[in-house]
Amino acid sequence: MNGRGPAATRPMPAQEVIDRQPIPYANLYSSLLRIRRVEEEIARVYPTDKIKSPVHLSIGQEAVSVGVCTALQPSDTVFGTYRGHALYLAKGGDLRAMIAELYGKVTGCAKGKGGSMHLVDTARGVMGTSAVVATTVPNAVGYAFAQQYSGSDRVVVSFFGDGALEEGVFQESLNFAALKRLPILFVCENNQYAIHSHQSSRQASLDVVKRVRSLGVPASRIEDNDVLEIFDRTVKGLSDIRSGAGPAFLECMTYRWREHVGPSDDFGLGYRSSAEAKVWMETDQIRRLASLVGAESRAIIEADIDHEIEQAFCFAESSPFPEPAELYSDVFAEA
């Protein structure tokens, strides 16, 4: 296979971060584990048909959303993709409203109308995720333009996959952001596959950073799904953006463990191998952060997460479905 994976022999002891700024290990571990366990429960429940929406799981890719969102201010905003569970939760989205949305219940974050691919929590800065590739990139740029125009110091973050790099609106959006020096961070979650097609079969040049720099946007690449490096680079990037330097771009190499859509694996389809995935699984960032957090703290974090997940699914189960009249609400803007 053509997949690029992390160095299997790369050490991951605590001393590798001695020279970095203080990093909130417990917060990172809690956020990573919370997302993983939520999605594992979604995968467990999905075959029962209680979940009324297709699900694109972020298992394996949690480090990108967590590393970036942990560095953000509550007032900063994010725009994401249909594989958006990790982003929604990492930014502080309401878990009960998310699970209710997957169940198609009226208490969901989109009143049961959007499902897994259309999560939103504007109060927490989650401005929405979309099922159409690259569509939230110009949305994010427009929002960043509005923030700049109003004199706000808020930063907007646009998350997208490697498939979005092939869309014309991606080039247009980055060009406009660079031209106007907008307060936006572009984050490419490069898991190397657009559904079942490897990046090398879709793009003549795999040097994403070079392509982005040619549009006038400072760019860098982070290997190995490294949550600590993602956090560090985001902190630095946000500082530059808030100072008026304009947009920045991070290409974060990552890997999804499950199938493109659904709760299972898909190695039997032949487009990728379990051996390729194993290399990434061996450097699981949750296991890495667990080694940097004390046992007592881990136990508290894990118990709290398990309780929260149980309550969220109970909330979704007991919530009502929308009334038929709800079909006619939120269809168009009213004065």
Contact between residue 88 and residue 307 where contact means Cβ atoms under 8 Å apart: no
Residue 75 dihedral angles phi and psi, to the nearest 5° = -80, -10
Q: Could you tell me if 35 and 89 are in contact, meaning their C-beta atoms sit under 8 angstroms apart?
A: yes
Count of beta carbons in the 10 Å neighbourhood of residue 44: 11
- Look up residue 56 and give its amino acid: H
What is the rounded CA–CA span in Å between residue 12 and residue 235? 21
Burial class from Cβ neighbours inside 10 Å (0-12, 13-18, 19+) for residue 94 reads: buried
Domain layout of the chain by residue ranges: 23-320
Euclidean distance between CA atoms 251 and 174, whole angstroms: 14
Which amino acid would we find at residue 225?
A: N
d(CA 167, CA 89): 27
Backbone angles phi, psi at 146, to 5 degrees: -65, -40
Residue 162 identity (one-letter amino acid):
D
Query: How high is the pLDDT of residue 22?
Result: 72
Residue 219 to residue 325: CA distance in whole angstroms: 48
Residues 120, 87: contact at Cβ < 8 Å? Answer: no
Give Rg (Cα) of the chain: 19
- The CATH number corresponding to 23-320 among 3.40.50.300, 3.40.50.970, 1.10.10.10, 2.40.30.170 equals 3.40.50.970
Nearest 5°: the CA angle 111, 120, 252 is: 145
Q: In what order do the strands lie in the sheet with 248-253?
A: 126-130, 77-81, 156-161, 184-190, 248-253, 219-222
pTM: 0.93
Q: Which helix (H) or strand (E) holds 78?
A: strand 77-81
Helix extents (H) in the chain: 25-45, 62-69, 85-90, 95-102, 136-150, 168-180, 208-213, 227-240, 274-281, 285-290, 295-318
- Per-residue tens of pLDDT for the chain, all 335 residues: 444 555 443 444 444 443 455 789 999 999 999 999 999 999 999 999 999 999 999 999 999 999 999 999 999 999 999 999 999 999 999 999 999 999 999 999 999 999 999 999 999 999 999 999 999 999 999 999 999 999 999 999 999 999 999 999 999 999 999 999 999 999 999 999 999 999 999 999 999 999 999 999 999 999 999 999 999 999 999 999 999 999 999 999 999 999 999 999 999 999 999 999 999 999 999 999 999 999 999 999 999 999 999 999 999 999 999 999 999 998 888 76
DSSP secondary-structure letter at 131? Answer: S
CA atoms within 13 A on the CB side of 260: 14
Looking at residue 333, its pLDDT comes to 82
pLDDT tens digit string along 188-241?
A: 999 999 999 999 999 999 999 999 999 999 999 999 999 999 999 999 999 999
Instruction: Take residue 322 and report the two structure tokens written for it.
Output: 């929308």
Q: Distance between CA 215 and CA 173 in Å, rounded? A: 10
